[in-house]
Structure 1
């Protein structure tokens, strides 16, 4: 077996790791700040959770499958097993159940964080990936679920995405059917698997072997077709006969009504045959899909049972955007994501650098981003570098033939240039640069 070269070892990353170079990091930060701004507008406050905790504590809020995909290590001091977070929601559930139990409800919490899962990398997700999300704790009614979906739509719009769809299901609707049938876990899992795959032939074969009442059989076989707009609720209402499913359907109908009030019903598709996340969600759950992206961009829903695992029965709902996938979706829809460069790039040919340093400080004090070219090189090379950095304007000081006390202002987007007294800029930058400090975007 060949040994990797020294150069290859220097550049090699572990499988599933992702490096963000400056432009990519700027795009990522833009997505995160945009979403956090939306969350704040809805009254959510940021919470920061630790990257690792004791495995036995985290495992209380996660299923066996996710536990198997956690990155684990041993604490050198205690010998206890640690794990990197694979899901933020159980961490927040534990924090609410312990540190925030007595806090007034509802709690509106937001987060921007990285998550670690030992998965095969795919479609914008690596083994370390980034999420931006919220948790609404202590609100049991349909208005909380409608708020989650409305915030998701607003977040997608804030990112500049236009072609998207929110698929909404209700986990308790299918639970009511299973409860009516009284199936053992094995046969229930087979039914869920067939529905999850949208495998109609397998579903028909399984239903035929159940010897269930005709009304239940009809409902089970209709599940893959209960997909669409408001008419889905009417069709399901005619078919459903058990109290739990009826209550779930009424809950979904109220959420859909609220979404119509928000003016968002056209972005929503109801799917009563969706059973993914069945073990995680207790009621309404949803996923956001964007044209041009072959994976879920946002996932969320109600998880009323999770806080009970930490000894505190309290309703909760939430959602999370996947930041890497948001970047891919924006690229596929032609949304510009280049981060801005500095508003001013100062090129100085004087020996004492006094003018450049004074200008830099004055403009920064006014709120502008300023970079200086400290290298000694021809002015055209400096201007080329400034354009490559996406700077807004170049301020050239002390070049040969320049009028005394004047700075040459070069608009780097090609909108001309001129001479301005340095003293006037120092006295009032906004006189020559209206909106100084507001930021320049490429």
Structure 2
């Protein structure tokens, strides 16, 4: 007998959880629309030429590849696995956005503010809270080279998180240019700087000594590695910009950070914005500003992004770009653990009727209730047979356990004049 379990690293989503996800996704979407962003959709499959060489770093190695079809599939002449493939599932929403913009820019406003909400795929090792298919909620601004783009993105995403009910979250800011300059001043050779940044990005997950050892393995001498890790880990947030200047960061990136900090710090209630020289972000396509959003209830960041001004040059365009992505699944899991009050959903009505004598009335009545905003399920029940109420209550309880936010109501035609509450 075949197994009914989902493919490893994937998960089934039950009806109540889908209802909750859609409700919360609707909140995020409404906030982003209120900030002037326009929603688009891109295919989940992109050509390998688009996905690879994009600066996606380790994510490129985790791409699900698709076999060529028909005459293009030349097995005997292929020397590597990649020779057999010409497409792959997207590993994020940023790379497809750049391809989309290059294809459609003449029909889009400038600067272009986009929303993308959808699944991405990575063939990584599954673990608790981390799946191979996951939902991202992205906003991006293409065509604005100023710090206003970062300020808008941080404000809009902070507003979305606040509207979901989250408070006390922090936005960590940095500028890759400043970190490059600090590492060069510390004595790290130019060709090792990007690799050193990847190691430093792990300081929020590993003890400092392990990061020092990884820097050494990447070619940085032990004295320099110990010195830079020691200095960077001892910088207090309120003195970060001055300390980065003392370590060799130049005026331009520090002025940019100061501007973003000044104008976004008080934009959303319950959101703290700080400059953190250890905020690196692992993706290679970021060119200057990077930021991550963290919350005390989550061990990992719940959102992240930055500026990727060179990405569109792959398609022959010279256009600045910046974006942020909410880790939707991670945020939902965190909200469940925090037991945050869920936003109230619609009213779900069980309309109970006898199909032998009340079908026409039930069809008309259900249409009227749907016009009034109810989610109506018609329940066929012959008079004199066993009452369906126990079954309906059990179903409602199960949907509530799965995450449904609706109120549950019922009405029995011929007995009730109006709906009656079954369960909050």
Normalising by the residue count of structure 2, what TM-score does the alignment of the two structures yield? 0.82
Structure 1 CA distance, aligned partners of 2:91 and 2:51? 9
Matches of 2:381 and 2:274, distance apart in 1: 58
Per-residue CA shift, 1:137-195, capped at 9, x if unaligned?
Answer: 11111111011111221111121122422222221111123454471424763475256
Alignment partner, residue 314 of structure 1: 319
Whether 1:358 and 2:374 are equivalent positions in the alignment is no
Q: Are the counterparts in 1 of residues 281 and 290 from structure 2 also a CA contact under 8 Å?
A: no
Partners of 1:171 and 1:278 within 8 A in 2: no
- Please point out which of 231, 236, 242 is paired with 1:234: 242
Shift of 1:355: 2.7
1:354-402 per-residue CA deviation (whole Å, 9 max, x = no partner) reads 3322211222233332222114376884333444436543222235xxx
Residue 16 of structure 1 pairs with residue 9 of structure 2: yes
Q: How has the CA–CA distance of structure 1 residues 19 and 338 changed in structure 2, closer, same or farther, with 3 Å as cutoff?
A: farther
Deviations 1:15-41 (A, max 9, x none): 111110111111221222111111111
SS of residue in 2 equivalent to 1:225: coil
| Corresponding position of 1:397 | 413
Secondary structure in structure 2 of the residue aligned to 1:358: helix
Q: Secondary structure at the match of 2:52?
A: helix
CA distance, structure 2, for counterparts of residue 381 and residue 331 of structure 1: 34
| Alignment length (residue pairs) | 394
Following superposition of structure 1 onto structure 2, how do residues 362-441 of structure 1 map, counting pairs within 5 Å?
A: 362-376=368-382, 381-387=387-393, 388-389=395-396, 392-399=408-415, 407=417, 409-413=419-423
CA distance in 1, matches of 2:263, 2:116: 26
Aligned to 2:298: 293
Unpaired runs of at least 5, structure 2: 74-84, 397-405
C-alpha separation in 2, matches of 1:46 and 1:357: 36
Aligned partners of 2:343, 2:156: CA distance in 1, in Å? 25
For the pair shown, which has the larger CA radius of gyration, 1 or 2?
1
- The alignment's C-alpha RMSD in Å is 3.2
**Equivalent residue runs for 1:111-122 within 5 Å:** 111-122=116-127
**SS where residue 100 of structure 1 aligns?**
helix
Match of residue 129, structure 1, among 129, 134, 153: 134
Structure 2 contact 287–308 (Cα < 8 Å) conserved: yes
**Greater CA drift, 342-351 or 13-22:** 342-351
CA distance in 2 between partners of 1:273 and 1:174 (Å): 8
CA contact (8 A) 1:195 1:203 kept: no
CA distance in 1 between partners of 2:90 and 2:234 (Å):
37
In structure 2, relative to structure 1, the CA distance for the partners of 1:95 and 1:176 (3 Å cut) is: same
Q: How does 1:207-246 map to 2 (within 5 A)?
A: 209=221, 221-228=230-237, 230-237=238-245, 239-241=246-248, 245-246=250-251
Deviations 1:298-338 (A, max 9, x none): 11111111111222121111111122111111112212448
Correspondence for 1:427: none
Tell me the residue number matched to 2:155.
150
> CA separation in 2, counterparts of 1:55 and 1:13?
26
Contact map agreement 2:56 2:283 (CA 8 A) in 1? no
Q: TM-score, normalised by structure 1?
A: 0.79
Distance apart, 1:100 and its partner CA: 0.9
Aligned to 1:165: 170
Checking the alignment, whether the CA contact within 8 Å between 1:232 and 1:270 is kept in structure 2 is: yes
- In structure 2, the residue corresponding to 1:233 is in which secondary structure? helix
Q: Which residue of 1 aligns with 2:100?
A: 95
What is the CA–CA distance in structure 1 between the aligned matches of 2:190 and 2:118, rounded to whole Å? 39
Q: Which residue matches 2:26?
A: 33
